[in-house]
Amino acid sequence: MNVIRKFSPGGSVPAVANTAAFNDGKSRRVVLLCSTDDIDRTGDIVVQTGIDLQAYRQNPVILWQHDHGSPIARATDVRLSGNSLEAECEFPPAGVSALSDQIYALVRANVIAGVSIGFRPLESLPLDKGNPMKGPQRYTKSDLLEISLVSVPCNPAARVTWKYAEGDKKAKRKAEAEELRRIGEVQKLRLKQLHQI
C-alpha cells in the first residue's frame, strides 16, 4: 500500500522538565488545521474535498511525527471546511502518557505548531507533464489514515490553530485572535501562489 505522509522528518522529542502548568486536570484540547488545497513544499496539492474521512473516523488517532508507535491524542471531531481539513483533538489526562504530556506542553508553549496528514492516494493527476510518475501530483481522491503533530509540516498552512483548557476564557480569546492572524497569512500565501501560476 502506498502511503504518503506530508511532513519534513525531524528528530526526537525534546525533554520537558515540568509539565505541571498544563496538567491542571481540565480537558486538554487543541484545534488543528490539518491540510489545505495549497501547493505544499514538495509541489503537491491534496484536494481536500477528495479526502475520504470514513475509515479515519473509526480510529481517529493523532500521532507524533507520523510514527504509528507514538499515538498522542484522539480527534474528537474531524471535518472538511471549504478547502481545508480541520480537527479538534483531545490529549489524554495528565500522567497517562509521558509522550502525550510532553507534546501537549510543547504545543501549549508554542514550540510545536506543525500539523500533517498521512493518506493513501486513490486518484491523482500529474502537475508536471514532463515527469508524470515522479513529479508533483494533484491528489484528487485519497483515504485519510492519520493526522500528526510534527515539527515541520509539508503544508505551511497546516498548524495548531487553537489550544485551550476547558474554562480558559483568556486562552480562548487569544487563540481566536491568533486564528484570525493565521487566516490572513494563509490568504496572503494563496495570493502569492496565484501570482506565480
pLDDT in tens, 102-115: 999 999 999 999 99
Strand partners, 5: 118
Q: Summarize pLDDT for 131-171 with one digit per residue, the tens.
A: 888 889 999 999 999 999 999 999 999 999 986 555 555 65
Confidence of residue 182 (pLDDT cuts 50, 70, 90): low
Please give the Cα distance from 184 to 146 (Å, whole number). 27
Instruction: Give me the long-range contacts of 38-41 (CB less than 8 A, separation at least 24).
Output: 38/155, 38/156, 38/157, 38/186, 38/189, 38/190, 38/193, 39/136, 39/193, 40/6, 40/154, 40/155, 40/156, 41/8, 41/154, 41/155, 41/156
Range of the domain at 113: 4-9+22-196
Please give the Cα distance from 51 to 195 (Å, whole number). 27
Domain membership of residue 16 (yes or no) is no
pLDDT for 20 beyond 80: no
Domain membership of residue 14 (yes or no) is no
Domain membership of residue 50 (yes or no) is yes
Higher pLDDT, 63 or 12: 63
Predicted local confidence at residue 130, as pLDDT? 85
How many structural domains compose the chain? 1
φ/ψ (deg, to 5) at 186? -65, -40
pTM, two decimals, is: 0.74
Domain membership of residue 17 (yes or no) is no
Closest CA to 72 of 80, 81, 84, 63: 63
